Amino acid sequence: MQFGIFTIADITPDPTTGRVPTENERLRSMVEQATLAEQVGLDVFAVGEHHNPPFVTSSPTTTLAYIGAQTTDLILSTATTLITTNDPVKIAEDYAMLQHLTGGRVDLVMGRGNTGPVYPWFGQDIRKGVEIAIENYDLLRRLWTEDVVDWEGSFRTPLQQFTSTPRPLDGVAPFVWHGSIRSPQIAEQAAYYGDGFLHNNIFWPMSHTQQMVQLYRERYEHYGHGTARQAYVGLGGQAFMRKNSQDAWNEFRPYFDNAPVYGGGPSMEDFTRATPLTVGSPEQVVERYLTMADGVGDYQRQMFLMDHAGLPQKTVLEQIELLGTEVVPVLRRELEARKPADVPEAPTHAARVAESESRRGAFDDAYKFETGDNWTGLRAEDAENRTR
């Protein structure tokens, strides 16, 4: 099972001091968190994508490439890649490039985001969000799996004899998780392609999470990718820890009460009862997260949000260290012991390459494409054929 942390990179005032980090400080803090995550044994670091204040993660690939250059084993992912407002061609190019530069340590979570105004900023209609997500992802898959693509759809210009470069590393595209918290259409999409489904349930009760994951598992089996319990499931999570449980409650309360996303809403007591947020000792976090598999079945990835609500960097780094040294080793051991033999491990590039080679033989990475006309992208003989 893979464990990691994700960031939405919000710039939020510290309610205890009033201090607001600069954009540069916030970006640098993410890099420091990622390198520490690898040092303490975590598997994944994921970055969200937003194009509006108070967030500073408008370019996840740039951020992940920088982190990738300073780490060796950490899987680099996204908390959301906006499949609705990014051009599928650019996604195909950027993440294949990131694959090559990091030795395959890349996967991504496709999502529609939760910021309505972003659609018109990028020339799209939010009322068509689901349709755009479905069409764009179908094109993205073709760009990664077909060397030359002819395509026409409803939401972007057609493609003729288009080759996305670079091609995926070792002929295997990055693994895709489809992220959704409330849209059954996205769970269906993940199941249809045999991809992963990540339910970032940090604001939702387990009853809702169970329904979404069960739908995905049932449809995964329906489409013939394996049994329901062999489907790839990921969950979100939140925790704040101190050695003494009451110290954790006292320290985190002002951050919870003033957080932009839930400040002024339910009390911290009510929120921790209803959602995965766990405030207390590392042992209490372990106890809580050992129960998640009881609700959704054995799953492959557990992510934690650690750096939100204005928490100072020193505190965030302490939380990551507690997670990596006192929580994850126990969760990893206990959850692995209970996992049935037929439930797959979390997907990695190396494992997927080995699986691909068992089906098709060794991949030949020799460059095999004609350059054509460097101005039009087409060969002269192809243009002649079209005019006859």
CATH number at residue 30: 3.20.20.30
pLDDT > 60? residue 380:
no
pLDDT > 70? residue 116:
no
Is 188 in contact with 215 (CB distance < 8 Å)?
Answer: yes
- Cβ density class 365-380: b for 16+ within 10 Å, e for less: eeeeeeebeeeeeeee
Q: What is the pLDDT of residue 259?
A: 86
At 379, the pLDDT band (50, 70, 90 cuts) reads low
Which residues fall within 8 angstroms of residue 363, CB to CB, at 6 or more apart? 170, 171, 172, 353, 356, 357
- In the block, tokens 């895709």 appear at 176
Total tally of structural domains belonging to the chain:
1
Q: How many CB atoms lie within 10 A of CB 165?
A: 11
And the tokens for 268? 């911290």
Is 323 in contact with 331 (CB distance < 8 Å)?
Answer: no
Angle at 7 between CA 21 and CA 241, to 5 degrees: 90
pLDDT > 70? residue 376:
no
d(CA 167, CA 63): 21
pLDDT > 80? residue 378:
no
How crowded is the C-beta side of 282, counted as CA atoms within 13 Å? 15
345 alpha carbon, distance to own chain's centre: 17
Amino acid identity of residue 335, one-letter, is L
Cα-Cα-Cα-Cα torsion 30, 115, 205, 296, nearest 10 degrees, comes to -70
| SS3 state at 197 | strand
Average pLDDT, integer, range 260-272:
87
How crowded is the C-beta side of 386, counted as CA atoms within 13 Å? 8
And the tokens for 83? 């499949």
At 100, the pLDDT band (50, 70, 90 cuts) reads very high
d(CA 91, CA 108): 10
Q: What is the pLDDT of residue 384?
A: 57
| SS3 state at 161 | strand
Of the ranges 59-68, 78-87, 197-206, the best mean pLDDT one: 59-68
Amino acid identity of residue 75, one-letter, is I
How crowded is the C-beta side of 214, counted as CA atoms within 13 Å? 8
- E strand or H helix at 221: helix 206-222
- In the block, tokens 């004609």 appear at 370
Q: Does residue 171 come out as left (phi exceeding 0), alpha (psi in the -120 to 50 range) or beta?
A: left
Predicted structure pTM score: 0.92
Q: What DSSP string runs through 5-18?
A: EEE--B----TTT-
Q: Give the end-to-end CA distance of the chain in Å, rounded to a whole number.
A: 58
| SS3 state at 281 | coil
Rounded to a whole number of angstroms, the CA Rg of the chain reads 22
Share of the chain above pLDDT 90, in %: 73
At 123, the pLDDT band (50, 70, 90 cuts) reads confident
Residues pairing with 44 in the sheet: 4, 75
Is 278 in contact with 238 (CB distance < 8 Å)?
Answer: yes
Average pLDDT, integer, range 358-364:
87
Q: pLDDT tens digit string along 292-325? A: 999 999 999 999 999 999 999 999 999 999 999 9
Which structural domain range is residue 301 located in? 2-387
How crowded is the C-beta side of 345, counted as CA atoms within 13 Å? 8
- Cβ density class 245-263: b for 16+ within 10 Å, e for less: eeebbebbbebbebbeebe
Q: What is the pLDDT of residue 374?
A: 55
Is 126 in contact with 116 (CB distance < 8 Å)?
Answer: yes
Average pLDDT, integer, range 200-210:
89
Which residues fall within 8 angstroms of residue 255, CB to CB, at 6 or more apart? 15, 16, 240, 309, 310, 311
Is 174 in contact with 193 (CB distance < 8 Å)?
Answer: no
